[in-house]
Amino acid sequence: MVEIAIMGHGVVGSGVANIITSHKQKLYSAVGEEIHLKKILDLREFPDLPYADKFTKDFDDILNDVEIRVVAEVMGGIHPAYEYTKKLLLAGKSVVTSNKELVAAKGAELLQIAKENNLNFLFEASVGGGIPIIRPINQCLVANNVMEIAGILNGTTNFILTKMIEDGMDFDAALKLAQDLGFAERNPEADVEGYDAVRKICILASLTFGKHVYPDNIHTEGITKITLEDVKFATKFDSVIKLIGDVKQLDDGKLDIFVAPMLIKKSSQLANIDNEFNGIMVRGDCTDDVVFYGKGAGSMPTASAVVADIVDCVKHLKRRKFLFWVDGSNENVLPYEQSKAAMYVRVEASAGDELKKIFGSDIKTVSNGANIAAITPVMTVKEFEEKTKDLKLLSKIRVGDL
């Protein structure tokens, strides 16, 4: 029997406790011995739960329990999750986490501590919820030079965009529904402003290219400026608007990495990924496009990935899984103004002539009477900003070739 503990009994933690207790036989078959939940850390009380006796409010009860070999950190946020994780690794316990904020900020350091102590620090649930993506990139696709990863990485914003497009629901009502369903972050600004998605694309970039990419200086746009007009105009360009996290390695080795809403063609494999579902496309030089699709948020899908990591740790109690990247400085990140893209633009109808003067008379435009929209040729963000500095833009959205 292997003893484990869970830190946090929120949306994900309660799902982990549920799976560990309800899937005992399935997990026994996978591991060959029982995975036994010994303690749960939470400041709240849950007297009505069948496992109410396992709760503690004292982190030291887990840290100092030598029988506990694996701990699931599902508290969220950096503090005290970082301090706790570090102490647990230094005390000889493997740690698994769904905490993308922690991995994006401290991944290189925690992986190094795990390595020095011959332990595992695993985080399959930190990107894509229930979708397997960390292991596939690290193992199944490892023979490829990855050319690009592009993904719908945030369930809440995808849910909101879907409800706006399909049901004409307004932004606030759709966000409230996503919160009620347990998809949104404690502070939903992290979802709608793109901070959650940028953490996830940074984790994928760090894993794929081997050096930590920190989210702080990565260009990040959310969906708060997306209007129903833009959603309708996108249709006229045979496209949909999705919030995309994207990373490409350029010929000089630099990473072109950002999070932004994008117009993508309806024929793209990412275009029909709706509601809280996530989709991640990995472009390998051997495989071409491989797409991963599934529920990117919610209690049980995310807990499924956390429990898979627990199983992996239990199977490798005395061996490390090779999952590693070194610290990085972001010097290998392309400044966003040098990133190249075509742009969708929307202006007042009266600015239509000006638009044609800037981008050429043969630019394809569409009109709804009041506004005109167009897609510019591909150029750097800096060139685009210079060309349009005197134009009154109502909207500008990147166009993705995905």
Catalytically annotated residues: 200
Identity of the residue, 55 or 183, whose beta carbon is nearer to ligand HSE in the bound complex: 183
Looking at 73, 101, 124, 191, which residue binds ligand HSE (CB under 6 A)? 191
Applying CB under 6 A, does 154 fall inside the site for ligand HSE? yes
Does position 284 interact with ligand HSE (CB under 6 A)? The reply is no
Binding to ligand HSE by residue 97, rule CB under 6 A? Answer: no
Picking from 151, 149, 144, 142, the residue whose alpha carbon sits closest to that of residue 287 is 144
The residue assigned the tokens 């007009």 is 229
Q: Does 297 bind ligand HSE (CB under 6 A)?
A: yes
Q: Contact between 185 and ligand HSE (CB under 6 A)?
A: yes
**Residue 195 makes contact with ligand HSE by CB under 6 A:** no
Buried b (16+ CB within 10 A) or exposed e, 238-257: ebbbbbbbbbbbeeeeebbb
Contact 154, 270 (CB under 8 A): no
14 near ligand HSE, judged by CB under 6 A: no
CA distance 174 to 167: 10
Q: Does residue 196 belong to the site contacting ligand HSE (CB under 6 A)?
A: yes
Least distance from C-beta 14 to ligand HSE, angstroms?
15
> What are the helix and strand counts (H, E) for the chain?
14, 17
Instruction: Tell me whether residue 154 or residue 395 sits nearer to ligand HSE (CB atom).
Output: 154
The answer to whether 94 contacts ligand HSE (rule: CB under 6 A) is no
Report the C-alpha gap between 192 and 174 in whole angstroms: 11
- Interface with ligand HSE, residue 296, by CB under 6 A: yes
Residue where the block lists tokens 């990147």: 398
- The answer to whether 193 contacts ligand HSE (rule: CB under 6 A) is no
User: Which tokens is 366 given?
Assistant: 């569409």
Q: What is the spatial distance between Cα 322 and Cα 312, in angstroms, rounded to a whole number?
A: 12
Distance CA 319, CA 313 (A): 9
| CA nearest neighbour of 124 among 270, 399, 311 | 311
| Residue 130 makes contact with ligand HSE by CB under 6 A | no
- Find the part of the chain contacting ligand HSE (CB under 6 A) among 41-49, 150-158, 208-216, 365-373: 150-158
Give the nearer residue to ligand HSE in terms of CB position, either 30 or 291.
291
Find all residues with CB under 8 Å of 63, minimum gap 6, and list them: 84, 87, 88, 91
107 lies in the binding site for ligand HSE (CB under 6 A): no
User: With respect to ligand HSE, which residue has the nearer C-beta, 297 or 333?
Assistant: 297
Select the span of 38-46, 177-185, 259-267, 384-392 touching ligand HSE (CB under 6 A). Answer: 177-185
Smallest CA-to-CA distance from 261 within 359, 194, 328, 187 is with 194
Tell me, by CB under 6 A, how many residues bind ligand HSE: 11
Interface with ligand HSE (CB under 6 A): 129, 154-156, 183-185, 191, 196, 296-297
